[in-house]
Amino acid sequence: MKLAIIVGSTRQARQTLKQAKWVEKTAQETDGINPQIIDLADYPMPFFNEPISPRYNPKREIDPSVKKWLDAIQDFDAYIFVTPEYNHSITGVLKNAIDYLTTELNRKPSAIVSHGSVGGARASVQLKEILSESRSVVIPNAVAFLGLVDGVDDQGNISPELKANPYSPQAALNMLLTELKWYSDALAAARNE
């Protein structure tokens, strides 16, 4: 399974990148998963301003910066969106990137890993709705990481105490990856029929 791990924040001193590195490290240790981090900081785009929804515009003229983003994510089998919580929601940059999507996530599974107040749970709930409208199959499993600042280092290593705890974010992420792989395999087989 080719897995895109999308970093949903671009601000300086963000915690989201180290959380994405933790997801990537864990995915690399999971059989059958080939992860890659896609950092929205590498894909600056204008605010969505197309005259017609991309889904309904057969004559769509795509901004080159947007095309770079769409090309980067279209060939993956599954997606994990790593998001902080800003004002009880996702970041503006993540919502903007998703607004440009048309068929890239169609019938492919997505999962959410969040952090922030209450682990980013409110952002996660909103992101699930947004992704389902993008026609992605959002799996029920999610990881809401409270205490990320002290729990994961800049290289994506989780603290030994958290890694050993059977109820930790590490255990939740392991379960999420197993479930995401199952959905990816099932949906890939259905798309190929």
| pLDDT tens for the 193 residues of the chain, in order | 999 999 999 999 999 999 999 999 999 999 999 999 999 999 999 999 999 999 899 899 999 999 999 999 999 999 999 999 999 999 999 999 999 999 999 999 999 999 998 999 999 999 999 999 999 999 999 999 988 888 999 999 999 988 888 889 999 999 999 999 999 999 999 999 8
Containing structural domain, residue 117: 2-192
Q: In this structure, are residues 111 and 81 in contact, taking their beta carbons and an 8 Å threshold?
A: yes
The Cα 89–Cα 157 span in angstroms is 26
Q: Give the SS3 label for residue 114.
A: strand
37: domain CATH number is: 3.40.50.360
Amino acid at 54: P
Q: Which of 125, 45, 44 is nearest to 85 (CA)?
A: 125
Structural domains counted in the chain: 1
Look at residue 94 in the predicted model and tell me its pLDDT.
98
**List of residues 6+ apart from 161 with CB closer than 8 A:** none
Quick: pLDDT tens for 71-109: 999 999 999 999 999 999 999 999 999 999 999 999 999
Look at residue 6 in the predicted model and tell me its pLDDT.
98
Alpha helices in the chain (DSSP H): 16-28, 64-73, 92-99, 121-133, 148-151, 160-164, 169-192
Look at residue 147 in the predicted model and tell me its pLDDT.
82
Look at residue 153 in the predicted model and tell me its pLDDT.
94
Look at residue 98 in the predicted model and tell me its pLDDT.
97
What CA dihedral angle connects 165, 168, 171 and 177, to 10 degrees? -160
For 122, the token pair is 């409110």
